[in-house]
Amino acid sequence: MHAHRRRLQQALTIPGASVEDAGGLPAAHRLMSDTAPLPQTPAAPLAPIAAVDRPKGWMTGLVRSLIRPYRFWVLVVFAAMMVETLMSLAAPWPLKIVLDNALGHHKLPEWLEWVHNLGIDRDTMGLALFAALATLVIAVLDSIADYIDNYYTESVGQWVAHDLRIRIYDHLHRLSLGYYSTHQTGNMLSTLTSDVSTVQDFASSATLSIIVDMMTIVGMLGIMFWLNWDFALIAVGVTPFLLLFVMRFKKAVKDATRDVRKRQSEIVAVAEQGLGSVRSVRAFDRQDLEEQRMQGASRATVTAALKARRIKSLLGPVVSVVVALCTAFVLWRGTALIVSDVMTVGALTVFLAYLAKFFKPVQDLAKMTNTIAQTAVGLERIQTILAADDVIPDKANAILPPKLEGEVAFEHVAFSYNADAPVLKDVSFTVKPGQVVGVVGGTGSGKSTIVSLIPRFYDTTAGRVLIDGTDVRDYQLHPLRRQIGFVLQETVLFRGTIRDNIAYGRPGDVTEAEVLAAAKLANADEFIAKMPHGYDTVVGERGDTLSGGQRQRIGIARAVIRDNPILILDEPTAALDTESERLVMEGLERLMKGRTVICIAHRLSTIRDADNIIVLANGVVAEQGTHTQLLAGNGIYADLYHVQFGDAAAQTSS
């Protein structure tokens, strides 16, 4: 026995074996698994999302593509903003009329003489009545415009966020599994939620404020120059210095905001790993380690946020002091002009109102540097995902696969997850339609890689994978995958009813009779019928309320209802007890009838009756043949069998 073990260790020593875990499944396949290894030390800070080369104007192009479907709503919002800006400009004038014309006995300007044609008297109370009515009209029009632009801006923001969220999610599903092997799920979740929410908030509120502020600044500058050009020069002269001050802080604020968002993503990643593996955490009693990891990520976030706030907090006070200096000068200078009869009290009042309103947008724009920086960082992170080109592409002339017969052939296939550690070097074999073929080998030998190349989860580095004589890359991707069924080592169930989980195997409407028939064929009907609500029983997240054997039988039922000509079994009984294995194997035997089956096996008893068994070692097919032939060959397979069952069992079986 020990001699067989030594021979196995030598034969199955494979460089780069860490590409696959002990179950033989690439790490990307186990995104939903609860079997991830626990770190023994607190994790180092996560690397930021990888930067991508962005073409000039990429952000403008992205924003335009998102807003384009809502052009009409944007025009409505813009019209409402114009009305709101005009009402903001008109708001101080009723008070000017009261001070200068009703109380000060100055004549109305010529451009307002038309009000007397409406029956407004020229006396004090008549002008006061006009000013009061004008105030009311301005307020009503401003309120209507404010409602319209707020409602439609929120509508645009919500739908833009919806479209962006769906675009990101769809793109993530089209990326190859290799992308998930090198990127953290927590970062993706953070982008899909927090970054999209930041863009939505900016589109819903900040964009409106910025546009209204800019339009108000332009309008007020014109009227201020008309009222008193030297006073207006004060505002114009100070504004460039304010903007220069803001611009000097822009990069620092953006860098600080980017660091905060990265740290927040770390919190999501730590929480996603810790809560997703809660059973393992409790099994090893390592809550303290997970809390330590969360504390580290949270403290880093607090430090980054306080650093960012320290930078941002400088803007508001500086702008406020500058505004106060300008207002003080205007008050002092305006009083002197009124005393010398160069300016009226009403004109100074309007000018002060405009000056306050003029600097408020400038102050708001300065304070909004934080919001703009957050949005820019959010868009960068979103664009990083959308720009990822690790997508399994369809050829331009890809063909729609017909009903497949099920012949699978590998011709000199090579594959590597990274260039330094090839997994497959030169693999060739053929599976005839209806054959059952077992695949065995050591950890990292490429068993799961082989079955991942058939549905094009990855594309080969060299060589070809053929189905019915056609390269799989010549088929349309999704129609090809719809003709391949899977039963994995750990069946992942989704939150919902058992009926929904079985029907998940096939797109479209699935009848009740089909669900029942699939469950019976998979030996699942027996335990489902005993549940309080039968097929309407809601399973917990990932099916944690069911045993491993029950989950596997539902997985088999899911494959039955899919009814594919090609079936891939990835160690479906590896983690089951003897009784569960017996029930699962009964279901699998019914499922395999009439199909081409490729079965990755750790328990060699599951493939003893296979038509052909392929043994992988060092990236090539080291042996192949029937169970009896391979035992007689006294090679790697024979050593594996001897280790599992002992020499006596091997002699009996031969």
Report the amino acid identity of residue 448.
S
| 643, burial (CB in 10 Å: exposed 0-12, middle 13-18, buried 19+) | middle
Q: Give the whole-angstrom CA distance, residue 100 versus residue 171.
A: 64
Q: What DSSP state is assigned to residue 403?
A: S
Spatial separation of the C-alpha atoms in residues 654 and 648, rounded to whole Å: 10
pLDDT at 58: 62
What pLDDT, on the 0 to 100 scale, is given for residue 104?
Answer: 65
| Cα distance between residue 29 and residue 148, in whole Å | 49
Rounded Cα gap, residues 203 and 362, in angstroms: 19
Q: Which two tokens stand for residue 284?
A: 């090893």
Local confidence band at 44 (pLDDT 50, 70, 90 cut-offs): very low
- For residue 484, the 8-state DSSP code is E
Cα 108 to the chain's mean position, in Å? 61
Please say if the pLDDT value at position 508 is more than 80: no
- CA 449 to CA 17: how far, in whole Å? 12
Q: Which helix (H) or strand (E) holds 481?
A: helix 477-481
Q: Which amino acid is located at 38 in the chain?
A: L
335-353 residue pLDDT tens: 877 787 777 777 777 777 7
**Confidence at residue 206, expressed as pLDDT on a 0 to 100 scale:** 66
| 301/524 Cα distance (integer angstroms) | 48
Three-state DSSP at 411 gives strand
Between residues 71 and 5, the one the model is more confident about: 71
Which is it for strands 566-570 and 596-600: parallel, antiparallel or unpaired?
A: parallel
User: What is the structure's pLDDT at 93?
Assistant: 76
Look at 164-168, 273-277, 439-443, 468-472 and tell me which has the smallest mean pLDDT: 273-277
Report the pLDDT averaged over residues 357-364.
67
Confidence of residue 28 (pLDDT cuts 50, 70, 90): very low
User: pLDDT tens across 453-494, in order?
Assistant: 999 988 899 999 999 999 999 999 888 988 888 887 777 788
pLDDT, one tens digit per residue, over 521-564 is 888 888 888 888 888 888 877 677 787 788 888 888 888 888 88
With 0-12 / 13-18 / 19 or more C-beta atoms within 10 angstroms meaning exposed / middle / buried, residue 115 is: middle
Considering the chain, what percentage of its residues have pLDDT values greater than 70? 76
CATH class of the domain defined by 58-386: mainly alpha
Phi, psi of 397 (to 5 degrees): -110, 30
Average pLDDT over residues 322-345: 78
- Which strand (E) or helix (H) includes residue 428? strand 422-431
pLDDT(48) > 60: no
The mean of the pLDDT values for the chain is 76
Does the structure show a pLDDT above 60 at 251?
Answer: yes
Query: So what's the pLDDT on residue 453?
Result: 92
CA atoms within 13 A on the CB side of 468: 14
**Average pLDDT, stretch 578-598?**
78
Q: Considering only residues 276 and 427, tell me which one the structure prediction assigns the higher pLDDT.
A: 427
Task: Give the Cα separation of 486 and 474 in Å (integer).
Answer: 22
For residues 191 and 202, what is the distance between their CA atoms, to the nearest angstrom?
15
Q: What is the mean pLDDT of residues 104-132?
A: 67
